[in-house]
Structure 1
């Protein structure tokens, strides 16, 4: 496909540039958040294509995500950073009609592609369902408002306006937690609709805006709150997560496509505890993405801790599916609430982004 090479080059440059211009992030590495079910547009694009962002299949199988990756790949790497600071409750002024899904073109338009109408991937939902919000940094909420488009709105051709929405759920103050479930009832709707979530965080005057695409099938009772999809406590974003910075403008003069590395570094035999394996997913000038797989031993475990020391100049800039503490070249990773309990022989993964050139450190894994 003629556009494949161009997309890869643009993504590689954006990833490298994001790492080069991003500020040093405080430890522990952390996320902000997003709606994981039904998935917000940028979160869905990330979870479906983060490991295959070079694949030409995206253009035909998921054209709206393909366009979004072309427009600004940092929107997906920063899936948990679609926010505005200091709005003071005046949401409709800060986020005007036609820009709801991008949070009013926040961060210099990083998420602008989220506003585009078209055949976004949908998930089937009954009219009564449970929405799940990932709160990776435990911000809590002053409130969460859930709106749904009115019957007759066409997500294929129309940009979202406030007048297209009906407020169907508003919570009170919500405690901090990795996953926050919200019960939603949107009667009288069928087919493709947008679920728009406004999350007012409690830790600061910071508001988040998410568009999720659903296909209403009618009826239904709220389903049990699922564990979050493999993604998040901290954002997989080369420039990102903990506190997204504006879309990077400078880019290196040359940046080859990230290339996967097969090298892995296992911890010792899990026995009755756990083992962990470190894998470099991709590498680019000035940065890398890595994945750690944790596997329980011959008995179930309730939690885990993985540690290692980098041998070179590597620094972790963000992480997801684990809480990371760093001290110099030493890294300590601990499970989140939803992925600590593992059955005998079963595993989970967490990911991280960093600066420098990653080696393959020796890991230790301790179960609890």
Structure 2
């Protein structure tokens, strides 16, 4: 599904640009609204994740061939090697900073390091964002993977397009109301303080959306005009909501429409803008982009501040211009040298353990 891959890369770069601008403007007053609302990109990732995994695993689930253990091993191989690498790199940066007398603001302790290593730092076990802070969403993904049989069983009980759409909105509304009641925050604002809850309605919506595609041929047969109108409508609605300072949660429904339009376009055989090599490359390294950009920001800006090169807004802006390029270089390196080899290594170890477990007693 090339459109989904490319858009994932564009979304990752969007996050990098937003975090870079926020770092440049730190201490300069309130951030521009488009930067603040960029947090909804993460919820787009969550919907996309549910959709893609339902696309991959719904057939074995319905046929009774789904094995949760095997699924978790594959997802662990996808997430953990790069996550652990970037966590250790950030650990080294924090250690060097402390040796130089710089104490981080957030709780960078041995306990929070272990919670991060276990990918459980979106479950209220960590008091705040620490270490490689964007990885809270990776923890949320892992929590969704742990619970995917529950998501699939719940999806089995919802039949028909209308009921599925109602279920999407009802689950999101229920989680949103609970977030406001329990934490006083929009659901789409939760990170270490409840990211595992935040992903639930988006991941479930992605699964239901994939099943709607099976029942609604018109989604696959979407015309170019309807596709263009859907994309324009999503961005138009989001722009209006941002302009009127709407709650963050109000921008969640357009994310569903965006994934639906992109998934429909992905079924076409005709070439398109989102099928270019550069955008597909961005999609391939998007996970590395997402996990390395905080390290790039930390190293560049902290080093510049130590050297006295980030005192004015102009200096910080000039430094910020280099962040996307350095991030892309670092992401390509980590993708080729850490992410892909790490994935293969985990799978190889898992397969070796499985063969050993199946070996007859006494066999050499």
| Superposition TM-score tier, normalisation by shorter sequence | under 0.3
Between 1 and 2, higher relative CO (CA 8 Å, sep ≥ 6) is seen in: 2
| More helix by percentage | 2
Structure number, greater radius of gyration? 2
Using structure 1 for the length normalisation, give the TM-score: 0.24
Using structure 2 for the length normalisation, give the TM-score: 0.25
